[in-house]
Structure 1
Amino acid sequence: MTKIWVAITLLLGVLASGENLGNNTSGSIEPKIVGGSSTAIEQVPYQVSVRLTANDKKSYGSGHLCGGVVISQRLVATAAHCCYLTEKKQYRSAGEFVLVMGSTYLKSATNLTLEYYLQQLIVHENYNSDSLTNDIALMFINGYIPWNWPTVKALALNSQLVATSTYCVISGWGLLQQNGIVSSNTLQSATVPIVAYATCRISYNTVPISQVCAGYSTGGVDACQGDSGGPMSCNGMLTGIVSYGAGCAAAGYPGVYTNVSYYHDWIVQKNSSLNYTLYQNDGVRLGSGWSFLGFLPLLLAFVLDHRI
């Protein structure tokens, strides 16, 4: 099999400079919706655009780095490799990120767009940048997502393995094709089936239970670069986080996702350690009709109930 290169340097290096997503060679592991269709945020209201603040201030949408998924009123899950600078062998700081949610389009906001800075970044302590194992991170936002916001909803965590051939939904603003240049401005989604471990291991040799594979043997539908960290929803629950794959939608190479059921207890433990009462409502944008006084009763409710 063609030698597999870890292309995280490309993802983090190119996007850190605020440039478009670059070309990739076939056979490389892509931190990676190809073969999907445009969708409205209301169909996947848990979808988040994880951005670098410095780049996004220059041109709205250009800061998009990865996807993310809302799992509580203050917590977003993403991939650990989205937070790691390979060349420097260190993690980005929480202050470098801004999270944008509630919008269908990457480059424009509406009166339902929500944007938040981070209060805390929690990367899995055993993340391995070479093998991409334990590829999961949590982003604790500095503010609260309104409970009844029409375009932002939390996605419940899956706690059990999903059966092979179960159809799941993936979404994001990543490249629309292998060797593409610019990420999609319109949110995309697609449906992919869960692939058996025995089948996936034929392609990737080592696929631990902490990961799960999904895709078609003929290829054609997959996540791609820029979709990393985004959700795979199965049976209405968060089952996978986009991690990597050989190319995008290549035949015989399904996408590999962080297996959320494996990390269910880790997520719950980290969430329970967070102080939900400590925050500054530091939303960059909170839609139209925002009123702190009108929102206060909801804040009190969140203090009492922040379960995921």
Structure 2
Amino acid sequence: MRACTIIFSVLFGFTLVLQLALANLVPSAALEISPKVVGGTPISIDSAPYQVSVRMTDRDRVSFGSGHICGGVVISQRLVVTAAHCTYNSNKNKYYTAGDYVLVMGTSYLTSTTNNTLQYYVQELIPHPSYNPNTLVNDIALMFINGYIPWTSASVKALPLNTVNLAAGVNCSVTGWGVTSSGSSVSSNALRVGYVPIVSYLQCAIGYGNVPRTQLCAGYMTGGIDACQGDSGGPLMCNNALAGIVSYGNECALANYPGVYTNVSAYNAWIINTNNTLNYTVFKNGSGSLVAGIWLTLFSILLAY
């Protein structure tokens, strides 16, 4: 009976518990942009249990926390979403491999762990096939991890996907371990949150020109609060759903330049269709080692029961 219960739980984890809708994709004009929580406050991971630290494996092995490059968001037991530019090596004009990454979740601080901290390797790395590294259009990627996140975890929870258009003024939150001032190169050790409203496309165009509906803007036209370097790929949470993925901005928290986010509602169909192609019966990390994935999966199942 216990074995049947575990098998059912694993099979149940295959499905994203999401209601999905597809919005029209609108191409963007070329922009002078650079990938990018200024003005925020420290919070516990309990307030944002869906937050992930995306790290480069080789750097993080040298010093825990030093590998952090981007944020990510848990959207199912084996799927994390992030920004495509976090997976692209602009110096070599090619994508990194799945084996280059390790994901850390369930911790409030970059450089320390607790009993609730979970770590997974990336089994498959799936940037959007139409991602444009010059304009950051279609700036979204999926990371299929090599284990199951137990739904009984005290500090890691999935965030549902937003499926509706958001009106200007809707209050949202953006979280991450990014730098806390524009121009800095030092990430915040503590997870931080900033509260920002959705900005209309008309207002966002003041600074950026035309912004396609596959992106959305959030922040203050007066500046002051924004995501920044190191927050890329992290969540913009509105109405308890994942509305945006931190994508880019003109520096950080400048007047007339709110943060620009990948509009998650425009990619719901791509996410679910991609999820349906993944092989949930295989566990390995991106470098080809099956052992770590198998042990992480067994450990996750034991934690869940």
Q: Which runs of 5+ in 2 are unaligned?
A: 1-29, 285-290
What displacement does 1:206 show? Answer: 2.3
Q: Answer whether contact 1:114 1:284 (CA < 8 A) is retained.
A: no
| Residue matched to 2:220 | 216
Q: Answer whether contact 2:31 2:135 (CA < 8 A) is retained.
A: no
| Residue matched to 1:264 | 268
Structure 2 residue corresponding to 1:126, chosen from 130, 134, 138: 130
CA distance in 2 between partners of 1:153 and 1:178 (Å): 30
| Residue matched to 2:288 | none
Q: 1:213 to 1:285 in 2, by over 3 A?
A: farther
| Residue matched to 2:302 | 294
Greater Cα offset, 93-102 or 82-91:
82-91
Q: Answer whether contact 1:30 1:248 (CA < 8 A) is retained.
A: no
Structure 2 residue corresponding to 1:276, chosen from 280, 285, 291: 280
Structure 1 residue corresponding to 2:86, chosen from 79, 82, 86: 82
| Residue matched to 1:17 | none
Q: Answer whether contact 1:31 1:226 (CA < 8 A) is retained.
A: no
* CA deviation string 1:107-128 (max 9, x = no partner): 1111111000011000100000
The alignment status of 1:245 with 2:249, answered yes or no, reads yes
What displacement does 1:137 show? Answer: 0.1
TM-score by length of 1: 0.84
CA distance in 2 between partners of 1:127 and 1:257 (Å): 14
The alignment status of 1:157 with 2:161, answered yes or no, reads yes
Counterpart amino acid of 1:249?
A
| Residue matched to 2:121 | 117
What displacement does 1:278 show? Answer: 1.9
| Residue matched to 2:58 | 54
Q: 1:292 to 1:123 in 2, by over 3 A?
A: closer
What displacement does 1:181 show? Answer: 2.6
Counterpart amino acid of 1:74?
R
Q: 1:162 to 1:57 in 2, by over 3 A?
A: same
Which aligned runs of 4 or more in structure 1 are off by greater than 2 angstroms?
A: 280-286, 290-295
Structure 2 residue corresponding to 1:206, chosen from 203, 210, 228: 210
What displacement does 1:292 show? Answer: 6.5
Q: Answer whether contact 1:30 1:225 (CA < 8 A) is retained.
A: no
CA distance in 2 between partners of 1:44 and 1:226 (Å): 17
Structure 1 residue corresponding to 2:36, chosen from 29, 32, 45: 32
Q: Which runs of 5+ in 1 are unaligned?
A: 6-28, 299-308
* CA deviation string 1:41-96 (max 9, x = no partner): 00000000000000001111000010000000000000000000112110000000
Count of paired positions: 269
* CA deviation string 1:209-265 (max 9, x = no partner): 000000001100000000000000000000000000001000110000000000011
Structure 1 residue corresponding to 2:229, chosen from 219, 225, 229: 225
Report sequence identity in percent.
57
* CA deviation string 1:139-194 (max 9, x = no partner): 00000101110100000001111111000010000000111131100000011000
CA distance in 2 between partners of 1:244 and 1:292 (Å): 35
Tell me the secondary structure at the aligned position of residue 282 of structure 1: helix
Q: Answer whether contact 1:115 1:285 (CA < 8 A) is retained.
A: no
Counterpart amino acid of 2:84?
A
TM-score by length of 2: 0.84
Q: Answer whether contact 2:283 2:293 (CA < 8 A) is retained.
A: no
What displacement does 1:106 show? Answer: 0.3
